[in-house]
Chain A
């Protein structure tokens, strides 16, 4: 009575839920948790960087002191960035639910 699944069997994983290598959270792409997504409007951005420390997921892409965009692999859509942005350069929009629910 087993589930056919590519995931590992109980005898093949480390005991006690121990994670035996670093940086494994990179593989856990939490972007598909989003209900709403932040949309970046670069033409309004004044690059104050207030959104960057507020982001709980470190999902903002910054190059040479300029905000370049959002990493949707990890952004959970909490909306903190949109609420702190002083110039409304980030707005929250509904996700296409059907597209985003294809959990692997």
Chain B
């Protein structure tokens, strides 16, 4: 309790156990200890390794009840995590970079089966050339994989986001896996002061997982991951989109619940000196911290600059982004990855937020669903009448 008073508001001090000098990776491991998942299957990869390394010490020391499965690759790590989650367990893993790339096949299976797996990801460049340092190519390559993505500025956020992610993933109307990202080395290996909640506070917040279906409910047997042909595949995928819509709907409720315990806010997009800014930068992860320092300095010089930090990248709240940028004259979007031959990922989303009103989205044909001439004609006719809302429209879906 010694240093708590220096770092924690007196209103929230009863919820905290201590402050510790922790790297981002060890902060996440600490969150995992407190979450005490039923199963962790993991494979080491720089710079994620210290997460599962520290967590495996917790397992060896008997500080958690977790079944720890050391596997032979990231593909197996995610596969074992999926199996455990389908059985009804609260299951976690962690990875980085090419490890995430190797598990990509089953990353999609996890979201497709609606398994609320939480996976800390330490951002690192993808090969080639081989490089172990930070960029966001790995998680950005998974932005369409159906996972919720939360980005963390520092160790404190990485710790709290991991706890938040459990509730978000397991919400009955969401049931989606979550990636909690932090920057490789910059965050994962830099030691900062991290305020640690009491074990009981975290335990009560995350509660117990209540699976909707479980492979271990023998009186009510179910099948996970079966074949779906063109007659049903699109409908199952539409449910995933709905789950993302529900994640947008319930995110703030769950975040506010955590705020009541920690005293920290977790807005989807966090403004910093943005209210009267003429020029703003948009960024996610650790660079937001660097930008905040520069913004403060430039404000001293009388320059009206600000920052909009993205916390929740998937699902992406386009309307909120648009409303927060309404007054900003010039916007700069920072991307730590390419989308080769196209606009970079974060820029692309911000641009989409500010789109004109006469362009509409139609999703069709998933899993081999046919597109008929009559549907093309109907789409044209409706566009001629100009009657669509800005949200996604569907062709050939059984609504």
Contact = CB atoms under 8 A, between A and B. Distances in A.
Interface of A: 1-3, 5, 7-11, 13-22, 24
B112 A17 contact: yes
Interface residues of B, number: 35
Given A3-B398, A10-B238, A10-B398, A16 B223 contact: no
B213 A10 contact: no
A18 B398 contact: no
Interface stretch (B51-59, B153-161, B227-235): B227-235
Nearest to A22: B221
B396 A17 contact: no
Given A1-B379, A7-B232, A10-B239, A17 B225 contact: yes
Given A3-B396, A13-B235, A19 B223 contact: yes
A33 B75 CA distance: 33
B171 to A, nearest CB: 13
A3 B224 CA distance: 27
Interface in B217-251: 220-226, 228, 231-232, 234-236, 238-239, 242-243
Contacts, number: 81
Given A10-B236, A18-B224, 16 more contacts: A1-B379, A1-B393, A5-B398, A8-B232, A9-B399, A10-B234, A10-B235, A11-B242, A15-B175, A17-B113, A17-B225, A18-B113, A18-B213, A19-B223, A20-B213, A22-B221
Interface of B: 112-115, 175, 212-213, 220-226, 228, 231-232, 234-236, 238-239, 242-243, 375, 378-379, 382, 393-399
CB-CB nearest 7 A-B residue pairs: A16-B114, A10-B235, A19-B223, A10-B238, A9-B398, A16-B113, A17-B236
Contacts of B243: 15
20 contacts: A1-B378, A1-B379, A2-B397, A2-B398, A3-B397, A7-B231, A7-B398, A15-B236, A16-B175, A16-B236, A16-B239, A17-B113, A17-B224, A17-B236, A19-B222, A19-B223, A20-B213, A21-B221, A21-B222, A22-B221
B182 to A, nearest CB: 28
Nearest to A19: B223
Nearest to B175: A15
Contacts of A22: 221, 223
Contacts of B115: 16
A7 B230 CA distance: 12
Contacts of A9: 235, 398-399
B399 to A, nearest CB: 5
Given A18-B222, A18-B223, A13 B175 contact: no
A16 B378 contact: no
